[in-house]
Amino acid sequence: MQFRHVATGFVVILSLAGCQRTAYNDASYSAPAPLTAQPVPSVQGGQLPPPSGSSQFPAAPTASAPVAGGQPGAMTANAMDVTKESMVGSWRVNGSCDMFLTLTNLGSGSRGGTRGCVGELTAMGSWEVSGKQVLLKDRSGNQIGSVYKTADNAFSGQTNTGQPISLSR
């Protein structure tokens, strides 16, 4: 038992022997030279002209209605091209919950899921790109909704029951 204490003490002494104290050598350290002040032009004051137009605020954007009578999977004529690789990652859904899309195969699509969502989106288990649409599917492979690209990092669409879906990053 005593040999064990001696061996432990020896190991501790050897490990501490490798430690060294490092500190700045005050003789070799010099402060950087101070910066020179730059001239600042004079500031002008005055009243701004009134905004042009009749309203203080810009017109609200109008939502594009899906074609084909609002059928799930329908998209507007101005939908942008989408690639599977650009969809991978985390998306904010309707500003209130999260959707996570991966490239891991699951059936005919790729694995995906939601956190904190309500309605049909709670059953989402996979997704796939079909033309200019992203099809959202449940864990059995049944389509539960679709979205289409409306801008960089922005998608719009709806579920099969008409629940609007808005994805953003």
- pLDDT over 60 (residue 161): yes
Beta partners for 66? Answer: none
Helical residues (DSSP H) of the chain, grouped into ranges? 2-17, 84-87
Q: Tell me, yes or no, whether 29 lies in a domain.
A: no
Do 100 and 114 contact (CB within 8 A), yes or no?
yes
* pLDDT, average across residues 124-134: 91
* pLDDT, average across residues 54-80: 53
Please state the length of the chain.
169
Q: Tell me, yes or no, whether 65 lies in a domain.
A: no
- How many Å is the maximal CA-CA distance in the chain? 93
Owner of token pair 């409306």: 150
- pLDDT tens-digit profile of 1-42? 688 888 888 778 877 766 666 555 666 667 788 888 888 788
Please report, rounded to a whole number, the percentage of residues in the chain having pLDDT higher than 70: 76
Q: Tell me, yes or no, whether 139 lies in a domain.
A: yes
Q: Tell me, yes or no, whether 147 lies in a domain.
A: yes
Q: Tell me, yes or no, whether 50 lies in a domain.
A: no
Which segments within the chain are labelled E, that is strand? 89-93, 97-106, 109-115, 124-130, 133-138, 143-151, 154-159, 164-168
Q: Tell me, yes or no, whether 111 lies in a domain.
A: yes
Domain carrying residue 139: 73-168
Which segments within 48-131 are labelled E, that is strand? 89-93, 97-106, 109-115, 124-130
Backbone dihedral angles phi then psi of residue 57, each to the nearest 5 degrees: -110, 150
Beta strands 154-159 and 164-168 are: antiparallel
Q: What is the pLDDT of residue 156?
A: 93
- pLDDT tens-digit profile of 91-111? 999 989 999 999 988 777 889
- Listed in sequence order, the residues at least 6 apart from 160 whose beta carbon sits closer than 8 Å to its beta carbon are 72, 120, 143, 144, 145
How many structural domains is the chain composed of?
1
Q: Tell me, yes or no, whether 106 lies in a domain.
A: yes
Q: What is the pLDDT of residue 107?
A: 75
Task: Provide the CATH number for the domain around residue 99.
Answer: 2.40.128.10
- pLDDT over 50 (residue 71): no
